[in-house]
A and B are shown apart, each in its own frame.
Chain A
Amino acid sequence: MFELLFKYPGPVFSRGHFVLLSAWPAWLLALLITIATVGLAVLTYRQIADAAPKLRNWRVWVLWAMQSAFVALVLLLLWQPAMMVAALTSQQNIIAVVVDSSKSMAIADENGKTREAAALDVLQSGVLGGIQKRFQTRLYRLGGDLTKIEGLGEVQPTDGATNINGGLKKLAEDTADLPVGAVLLLSDGSQNMAEAGGSGIALETLRALGNRRLPVHTIGFGRTEIAHDVEMEGVSVAPSAVVNSRMQAAISFVQHGYAGQTAKIAVRDGDKTIAAREVKLAPNGAMQTEKMFFSAGEAGARSLQFAIEPMAGEENANNNAMTRPVLVSDAKRRILYIEGEPRWEFKFIRRAEDDDPTIQLVSMLRTSENKIYRQGIKDPSELADGFPSRAEDLFGYAGIIVGSVDADYFTPLQRELLREYADRRGGGVLFLGGHTSLSDGGWGASSVSEMFPTFLPAGRNTFHRNAATVELTPEGVDSAIARLLDDPVKNAERWKKLTYLADYQDAGSPKPGAVVLAEMNVGKRKLPLLITQRYGHGRTAILATGGTWRWQMSEPLGDRSHDLFWQQLLRWLVADSPGPVTASASAHTLMDDGNIRLSASVRDAQFQPAVNAHVTAHMMGPGGVDALIDLQLSQDVAGEYSAAWTAEKPGGYLAEVVAQDTGGQKQELGRDTLAFRREDGVAEQFHTEQNRELLQQLSAQTGGRYWKPEDVKDLPQNISYSEAGVAVRTTNELWNMPAVFLLLLGLLVAEWMLRRRWGIV
């Protein structure tokens, strides 16, 4: 029908360029049309006043518009309009036919056939034959890699991954010296090996195709939505933890067909379930994120599986779980606790930390005006001169607690060092309430008041030895620091029932960006109890009391609330404090692709970037993988070292990064270990529905077209309109299109009928 009216097929118009073949200038056409329409307007307006005064309204302009359109169209035809379009010459071009051969193509959701079978059917039932009548073809199969094949018989849905990006880029590069006119891709679009650029088509690939003007026509297979499925979308969990710490994971998933039903989510370490709970499923297609708390367990590298138990009648149960590597370390982090007076809080914090194998509390306590009682020191010289005055002495600690100590006890240099400790070194500083703490200790007027997470109140009468009960804020309910019980509701209730604090302090109002995790009820007032904030590269916090010790003494024997709270608070304090060497990886889970970039940030004792270090990574992996690689200093970022490496085999890997000073003493600056994992064939089980959007986007961006399998009749003809390969440009005149004559005729007839209707004929 289209061709009957418009004489040429659609691509002539969609891909061609409009031209005027007449030698007369185009501006003349525009001028004449303007003169004609204005002239008609004047003439019509004047004459209608005499001929039919009643029609001197909008009807006049309708008639004028129709007359003007008629004149304009006739003038346009005089200028000989045409479409110029490039078309591939027969038998001189190659059409690359790429068939997705990944495992997801084995899903039988094409009227009982597998996607692969449906794709082969489409090719064999005329499309491939139609193309081969005009062009040569090259067949490829696409999985994690692109492979040229000799016949469709070599296509089997067995590849463990799909890399459309990489495959098309490779095709463009490999056929650079061949007259490839177009690419035909048959796929479900379930790309799971996307490089930079996420799950879309990378700019680099588009550029490679665009440079050759290669259009990619796509035929999509598979359902765009699965009726009954729960699919894991992602798991966010820290790649490292300390032994027995309370870990938090955010598990995101989407479901179809089970809205409102209850599902069980679980965290497993091997065969052992370490956490599980039931959740109510969100509406169909809505992303749902649930938090899970669990213990990191013993030291070692482990692969934790985060799973949703399969639902009844679920079509794909292979996308219900994800595995993440977690490295559990038993390294002790040292926290410096300076306390200005003996007090019960000090004792009970120390006792709580005695039970934490990952924290060593190094304390200096002013027992009298000039006596310091030190505990937890590694040798007699540690803190022998009091609070450190040099960065290399202070920055070695992973966290600092400042108890009931006057600001004036510190020299200005020490105070600035304390501020730099959080700001530049990235450590955590916790200030406790007390009768010489916060405002009562003069910190509000000190030079480092900016590092506090609150605006400390003026005056020095903010500490009171009176009882205060506690409760969590909504932020506290979500915080791992305050999680005494796994169930968030029960945990919030537990906090409300905790015995009262022995004392409280008004810490002032939180600063913008600070988070209040717990509050105190003091009479009818609420005061912030636990306030945290990020400060520079580190973090600071206030616990506005010295009286949590009552949680230990007045709760029943065996109640772990006090110890758990302090262990979690202090672990938070040091968790993100970097060591001299901080190793990182481009990804902790490699899906089907073993390429990984290892990076290490190396600092010296003063936590300045170390630019003269020798940094190596000892790689250990499955099947006896054992390699030593050198990391090279970055030219862009001081103290950053990196190297690329390939994990050839699937499984868990460990990388131990060691930095050595290349100076005279060649001493070790530090070391760090990270774990990562390569998983092959797993990603293919996810997002198994047809990614039509990706295929449409790919076609649109390359000048091709997305086809449904049932609409491919015109594809062999359509594919020939391409500027790639060996193409000729044809000029297609438009003046003799039936549609033009019909339009001219239609305008005249319509005007005549309107005139009759309005009584001016």
Chain B
Amino acid sequence: MRRLQLAAVALAVPGVVLGAVAAQQAFREYPSVEYGRNIPLPPDWQRPGEWTFARLMFPPGPLDGYRGRFDGPWQEGLSLWTQDYPRADRALANAVRRLTRVDARSVEQSVNPDDGDDIYNWPWLYAVQVGEWGLTEKQAQKLRDYLLRGGFFMADDCHGTEEQAYFEKTMKMVFPDRELVDIPNDDPIFHTVFNLDNRYQIPGAEHLATGHKKDGYVAHWKGIYDDKGRIMVAFSLNSDIGDSWEFLDDPRYPAKYSVLGTEIGVNYVVYAMTH
């Protein structure tokens, strides 16, 4: 009998593993550092869409600002990657629905790069506080693979020289041979839906008074291009676009930031779906 049980386990385990590799992960919610589990699901959360706001889950790095407060397993939420989550995600999804013809899913998808091949199901990926992240070598390889296959990665909420240096260092793990360069104004990414020649720094809600965080005084719009001149990684340095989505309907947060942030988000989404 025991042998039979062992045989059953031996057959079942590879089956489960293969299933996990092949199948797309279902919607899942994690507690966030700002909201716990208190954000209600929209009524149509089960309706699938063409585009989904996919949020990259990652381990915290040496510059993690939440160290000492949220030190649990990052795979279970309540970690750095859940900053603005899920409110910002759903706000952008809603904006994409309203402003474009993209069939957007109302709820986000949290994507763990260590979950087999799941990351490849979500060709648009967003990560917050990327200057504080702790991307592993294995995750960097996965991200490189993802981007070269055609995925798009929006890296946001990175402020000051120290975070910038750390992010650039980790991105060298992803692309040792490619540089983060300033995206010129005439790049299509700033013109897919809205013409965004006039961009300005978007501070986070906590930094409205100063207009910047740490020594990140000037906003930069950087990117990593592929061999055909297409942006694979869009990096908003010294801006917190996630906050501009998160506080879209908060009267305390200036509308001009939300407007620009939303337009940038929409442009990035449509760019990712056209280039």
The residue of chain A having its C-beta at the shortest distance from the C-beta of B50 within the complex is A343
In the complex, whether A368 has a CB less than 8 A from a CB of chain B is yes
Chain A residues near B22 (CB-CB < 8 A): 499-500
- Within residues 13 to 53 of chain B, which ones have a CB less than 8 A from any CB in chain A? 22-24, 48-51
> Interface 1/0s, chain A 524-559, versus B by CB < 8 A?
000000000000000000000010011011100100
Chain A residues near B23 (CB-CB < 8 A): 467
Chain B residues near A467 (CB-CB < 8 A): 23-24
Q: Is the CB of B99 within 8 A of A342?
A: no
The residue of chain A having its C-beta at the shortest distance from the C-beta of B274 within the complex is A347
5 pairs across A/B with beta carbons < 8 Å?
A: A344-B51, A347-B272, A347-B275, A350-B275, A557-B149
Q: Is the CB of B102 within 8 A of A373?
A: no
> Interface 1/0s, chain B 176-202, versus A by CB < 8 A?
000000000000000011000000000
The residue of chain A having its C-beta at the shortest distance from the C-beta of B272 within the complex is A347
In the complex, whether A371 has a CB less than 8 A from a CB of chain B is yes
The residue of chain A having its C-beta at the shortest distance from the C-beta of B117 within the complex is A554
In the complex, whether A465 has a CB less than 8 A from a CB of chain B is yes
Report which of A354, A367, A375, A500 forms a contact with B100, defined as CB distance below 8 A.
A367
- Within residues 492 to 521 of chain A, which ones have a CB less than 8 A from any CB in chain B? 499-500
How far, in whole Å, are A487 and B173 apart by their CA atoms in the complex? 39
A344-B273 contact, Cβ under 8 Å, with A367-B101, A557-B145: yes
Chain B residues near A465 (CB-CB < 8 A): 48-50
Q: Is the CB of B50 within 8 A of A367?
A: no
- Measured CB to CB, the closest approach of chain A to B76, in angstroms, equals 26
How far, in whole Å, are A549 and B51 apart by their CA atoms in the complex? 13
In the complex, whether A666 has a CB less than 8 A from a CB of chain B is no
In the complex, whether B148 has a CB less than 8 A from a CB of chain A is yes
Chain B residues near A344 (CB-CB < 8 A): 50-51, 123, 273
Q: Is the CB of B51 within 8 A of A553?
A: no
Q: Is the CB of B270 within 8 A of A367?
A: yes
A368-B101 contact, Cβ under 8 Å, with A347-B272, A375-B274, A553-B150: yes
- Measured CB to CB, the closest approach of chain B to A569, in angstroms, equals 18
- Measured CB to CB, the closest approach of chain A to B196, in angstroms, equals 14
In the complex, whether B126 has a CB less than 8 A from a CB of chain A is no
Shortest beta-carbon contacts, A-B, top 6: A342-B273, A465-B48, A341-B101, A553-B120, A554-B120, A343-B50
Q: Is the CB of B150 within 8 A of A342?
A: no
- Measured CB to CB, the closest approach of chain B to A470, in angstroms, equals 14
Most buried by A among B51, B100, B101, B146: B101
> Interface 1/0s, chain A 423-452, versus B by CB < 8 A?
000000000000100000000000000000
Q: Is the CB of A342 within 8 A of B100?
A: yes
Chain B residues near A367 (CB-CB < 8 A): 100-101, 192-193, 270
The residue of chain B having its C-beta at the shortest distance from the C-beta of A547 within the complex is B50
Most buried by A among B50, B103, B146: B50
Secondary structure class of chain B's binding surface, majority of residues? loop
Chain B residues near A369 (CB-CB < 8 A): 101
- Within residues 79 to 131 of chain B, which ones have a CB less than 8 A from any CB in chain A? 99-103, 117, 120-121, 123
Chain A residues near B148 (CB-CB < 8 A): 557
Chain A residues near B69 (CB-CB < 8 A): none
Q: Is the CB of B270 within 8 A of A348?
A: no
A553-B151 contact, Cβ under 8 Å, with A342-B100, A344-B50: yes
- Measured CB to CB, the closest approach of chain B to A198, in angstroms, equals 52
A368-B193 contact, Cβ under 8 Å, with A341-B102, A342-B101: yes
Given A340-B101, A347-B272, A368-B101; 12 other pairs, CB 8 A cutoff: A342-B269, A342-B273, A343-B102, A344-B51, A365-B274, A367-B193, A368-B100, A371-B193, A373-B274, A553-B146, A553-B149, A557-B148
Chain A residues near B274 (CB-CB < 8 A): 342, 346-347, 350, 365, 373, 375
In the complex, whether B228 has a CB less than 8 A from a CB of chain A is yes
Chain A residues near B146 (CB-CB < 8 A): 553
How far, in whole Å, are A351 and B102 apart by their CA atoms in the complex? 19
- Within residues 343 to 379 of chain A, which ones have a CB less than 8 A from any CB in chain B? 343-344, 346-348, 350-351, 354, 365-369, 371, 373, 375
Q: Is the CB of B121 within 8 A of A554?
A: yes
Chain B residues near A351 (CB-CB < 8 A): 150
- Measured CB to CB, the closest approach of chain B to A348, in angstroms, equals 6
How far, in whole Å, are A380 and B124 apart by their CA atoms in the complex? 29
How far, in whole Å, are A351 and B148 apart by their CA atoms in the complex? 12
How far, in whole Å, are A500 and B23 apart by their CA atoms in the complex? 9
Chain A residues near B123 (CB-CB < 8 A): 344, 347, 549, 553
Q: Is the CB of B272 within 8 A of A354?
A: no
Chain B residues near A553 (CB-CB < 8 A): 120-121, 123, 146, 149-151
A346-B273 contact, Cβ under 8 Å, with A341-B50, A341-B101: yes
Chain A residues near B275 (CB-CB < 8 A): 347, 350
How far, in whole Å, are A373 and B48 apart by their CA atoms in the complex? 25
The residue of chain B having its C-beta at the shortest distance from the C-beta of A344 within the complex is B123
- Measured CB to CB, the closest approach of chain A to B46, in angstroms, equals 11
The residue of chain B having its C-beta at the shortest distance from the C-beta of A342 within the complex is B273
The residue of chain A having its C-beta at the shortest distance from the C-beta of B21 within the complex is A554
Report which of B51, B100, B150 forms a contact with A348, defined as CB distance below 8 A.
B150
How far, in whole Å, are A435 and B121 apart by their CA atoms in the complex? 19
- Measured CB to CB, the closest approach of chain A to B110, in angstroms, equals 18
- Measured CB to CB, the closest approach of chain B to A272, in angstroms, equals 28
Most buried by A among B117, B120, B269: B120
- Measured CB to CB, the closest approach of chain B to A86, in angstroms, equals 85
Report which of A366, A499, A550 forms a contact with B101, defined as CB distance below 8 A.
A366
How far, in whole Å, are A598 and B83 apart by their CA atoms in the complex? 72
Report which of A343, A368, A552 forms a contact with B149, defined as CB distance below 8 A.
A552
- Measured CB to CB, the closest approach of chain B to A181, in angstroms, equals 80
Chain A residues near B121 (CB-CB < 8 A): 550, 553-554
How far, in whole Å, are A371 and B139 apart by their CA atoms in the complex? 38
- Measured CB to CB, the closest approach of chain B to A339, in angstroms, equals 9
Chain A residues near B102 (CB-CB < 8 A): 341-343
How far, in whole Å, are A366 and B192 apart by their CA atoms in the complex? 11
- Measured CB to CB, the closest approach of chain A to B204, in angstroms, equals 28
A373-B192 contact, Cβ under 8 Å, with A342-B273, A350-B275: yes
Q: Is the CB of B50 within 8 A of A354?
A: no
The residue of chain A having its C-beta at the shortest distance from the C-beta of B23 within the complex is A467
The residue of chain B having its C-beta at the shortest distance from the C-beta of A369 within the complex is B101
- Measured CB to CB, the closest approach of chain B to A602, in angstroms, equals 38
Chain B residues near A371 (CB-CB < 8 A): 193
How far, in whole Å, are A724 and B93 apart by their CA atoms in the complex? 96
Chain B residues near A373 (CB-CB < 8 A): 192-193, 270, 274
- Measured CB to CB, the closest approach of chain A to B106, in angstroms, equals 14
Q: Is the CB of B193 within 8 A of A347?
A: no
The residue of chain B having its C-beta at the shortest distance from the C-beta of A553 within the complex is B120
Chain A residues near B192 (CB-CB < 8 A): 367, 373
How far, in whole Å, are A465 and B50 apart by their CA atoms in the complex? 8
- Measured CB to CB, the closest approach of chain A to B90, in angstroms, equals 19
- Measured CB to CB, the closest approach of chain A to B195, in angstroms, equals 11
Chain B residues near A347 (CB-CB < 8 A): 123, 150, 272-275
> Interface 1/0s, chain A 387-410, versus B by CB < 8 A?
000000000000000000000000
- Within residues 533 to 590 of chain A, which ones have a CB less than 8 A from any CB in chain B? 546, 549-550, 552-554, 557
How far, in whole Å, are A369 and B228 apart by their CA atoms in the complex? 30
- Measured CB to CB, the closest approach of chain A to B102, in angstroms, equals 5
Chain A residues near B193 (CB-CB < 8 A): 367-368, 371, 373
- Measured CB to CB, the closest approach of chain B to A354, in angstroms, equals 6
How far, in whole Å, are A642 and B142 apart by their CA atoms in the complex? 61
Most buried by B among A365, A367, A373, A554: A367
Chain B residues near A365 (CB-CB < 8 A): 274
A354-B228 contact, Cβ under 8 Å, with A367-B100, A368-B193: yes
- Within residues 146 to 164 of chain B, which ones have a CB less than 8 A from any CB in chain A? 146, 148-151
- Measured CB to CB, the closest approach of chain B to A219, in angstroms, equals 71
- Measured CB to CB, the closest approach of chain A to B175, in angstroms, equals 13
The residue of chain A having its C-beta at the shortest distance from the C-beta of B228 within the complex is A354
How far, in whole Å, are A749 and B149 apart by their CA atoms in the complex? 102
Chain B residues near A546 (CB-CB < 8 A): 50
Chain A residues near B50 (CB-CB < 8 A): 341-344, 435, 465, 546
